[in-house]
Amino acid sequence: MYRSPVAWLCLLLVLAAGCSGGGGAGSGASLEEQAAGGAEAGADESNRGQDSTGGSTAGELAEGSSNGSIWQALPVAATGERVIKDGTMVLEIEEGAFDTAFAEVVTASERLGGTVVATTTDNSVGRPPAGTVTVRVPADEYEQLLLSMRDVGIVRNRRISSEDVSTEYVDLQSRLRQQEAQERFYLGLLNDARDVEDAIAIQQQLQGLQTDIERIKGRLQFIDDRTTFSTLTVELYEPGGAPITEPPSGPSLAASWLRAREAFVAVVGAVLVTTVSLLPLLLIAAVAWAVWRWSRRHPSTLGAHPE
């Protein structure tokens, strides 16, 4: 038995209406799901763009994934490029040449493009003068500064440390790009928000992202500063003296008095902490003891019963 064309047409209309309703329900996804998906898409597009360029430089530009804006790409450090260098050198100088040696250290750092960040001097009576000079010079001039210190005095001790932070720097750059991609996406959603609830939800997400971005930027700036300039502390002393950072050799009455005073303060502090901690138990014990003494003195009162 053949169905009429009108019946088939009605069936097709019903199916079309059902598909339309399903599409409308799918479009009502939550704001958070849309934002998460859009941010991930933006980050993926940014990463694909970087992979296709094959190593961008600081002057190259990348397009934003959400609104097409142009942003400055951060320079990517090569392995071993970001190294934090710090050091200390102890120099014994000629007698009576402290001021000259002090000036030579300052001049050497300034000649290499560095600056003096801290100084300390000790001109105590009865002791040869001593002091320290802390300087910062460009990282590529650090070895030259170390070599120039041999002309100032005899190197008695040298401690140089280095920390390679290249991996951390690259990881921070990657995290920053991802966070900024999410920030741009949320800013686009905020501009298109049509009710207060959506705007508040987006703003809350933005606050967390912007806090993370500022923290990452701060760490990157710290690494930039510490790897661009290296630090050296030079300790100077004349024969018969000692570096200012080293304690005087042999027993000292003042040092013994300081140790005794610190020990006394530590003992008194421990007694006070113990007393305060046991105070509740002591109060309970005192009340129990008072009740026991009172019961021993008035046994008839406790044993009497009203008739």
Q: What is the pLDDT of residues 175-202, one digit of tens each?
A: 999 999 999 998 998 888 888 888 888 8
Q: pTM to 2 decimals?
A: 0.51
The rounded distance, in Å, linking the Cα atoms of 212 and 206 is 10
The rounded distance, in Å, linking the Cα atoms of 295 and 28 is 79
pLDDT beyond 70 at 147: yes
Mean pLDDT of 95-99: 89
The rounded distance, in Å, linking the Cα atoms of 174 and 136 is 29
Predicted confidence at residue 47, as pLDDT, reads: 45
Predicted confidence at residue 69, as pLDDT, reads: 35
The rounded distance, in Å, linking the Cα atoms of 105 and 150 is 11
Contacts of 176 (CB under 8 A, 6+ apart): 74, 213, 216, 217, 220
The rounded distance, in Å, linking the Cα atoms of 28 and 25 is 5
Q: Is 61 helix (H, G, I), strand (E, B) or coil?
A: strand
Residues 145/150/152/157 CA torsion (nearest 10 deg): 100
User: CA nearest 237: which of 147, 157, 161?
Assistant: 157
Residue type, 58: A
Q: Can you give the residue ranges of every domain in the chain?
A: 84-246
Predicted confidence at residue 253, as pLDDT, reads: 63
- Greater confidence (184 vs 253) lies with 184
Predicted confidence at residue 89, as pLDDT, reads: 93
Residue 287 CB-half CA count within 13 A: 5
| Cβ(235)–Cβ(132) below 8 Å | yes
Min mean pLDDT across 141-150, 192-201, 252-261 is at 252-261
CA angle 42, 181, 224 (to 5 degrees): 140
| Of 18-22, 80-84, 194-198, 221-225, highest mean pLDDT | 221-225
164 CB-contact burial (10 Å; exposed 0-12 / middle 13-18 / buried 19+): middle
The rounded distance, in Å, linking the Cα atoms of 167 and 103 is 39
Q: What share of the chain is helix, strand, coil (3-state, %, to 5)?
A: 60, 15, 25
The rounded distance, in Å, linking the Cα atoms of 168 and 164 is 9
Predicted confidence at residue 281, as pLDDT, reads: 79
Mean pLDDT, rounded, of the chain:
74
pLDDT band per the 50, 70, 90 thresholds, residue 227: very high
User: CA nearest 209: which of 194, 227, 190?
Assistant: 190
Min mean pLDDT across 9-13, 130-134, 201-205 is at 9-13
